Structure 1
Amino acid sequence: MSEFKLSRRDSLRNIAVLGVAGAAAAAFATVPAEAAQPHMSKALSDLQAALNQLQAALPDKGGHRVKAMELVKGAIDETAKGMAVGAM
């Protein structure tokens, strides 16, 4: 049986190449999809903040507060769907 031996230089080069490739793959795997969509991400954050404020408001608004919450929830859903499509 023949033995295959790598030189130190070859071993170090292989480690360096694998390290760079692994780091690049890890960077892509850990970046959330919304990172490439700063405006959509900000809009989603603002919509969630608006919903929180509407939920904290006094309920006596003639049904308009409830309707506004429904519309904001719809906007949150549509924004999230848009971000998912944009990430493809």
Structure 2
Amino acid sequence: MTELTLSRRSMLAAAGVVLAAGSAAALVTSPAMADQGNMDAALRQLQNALNSLHRATPNKGGHKERAAELVMQAMSEVQAGIDYAAEHGGG
């Protein structure tokens, strides 16, 4: 396996974890979770961006992979914000 293949698999696994966490959080019916529409939309849009990066041709000098890592980092931060709001009663 190449380093790129391992990197792609790692990115997909991380994205799956973030999405699973987001899906589980969406099932919570607390008032704090009810007002997370913009954060949920941001998470979906970031997932779309990640999917587009994965479909892009690989000849980008490593920038495509770095962009995907940054998108996953952003997804993690958005999820952390959703979780924080849920724990602290924020909307």
CA distance in 2, matches of 1:44, 1:62: 27
Cα RMSD (Å): 1.9
Count of aligned pairs between the two proteins: 60
Unaligned runs of 5+ in 1: 1-28
Runs of 4+ in structure 1 deviating by more than 2 angstroms, as ranges, are: 29-35
Match of 2:83 in 1: 84
TM-score by length of 2: 0.59
**RCO higher in 1 or 2 (8 Å CA, sep ≥ 6)?**
2
In the TM superposition, 1:6-85 aligns within 5 A as 31=29, 34-85=33-84
CA distance in 1, matches of 2:86, 2:72: 21
Unaligned runs of 5+ in 2: 1-26
TM-score by length of 1: 0.61
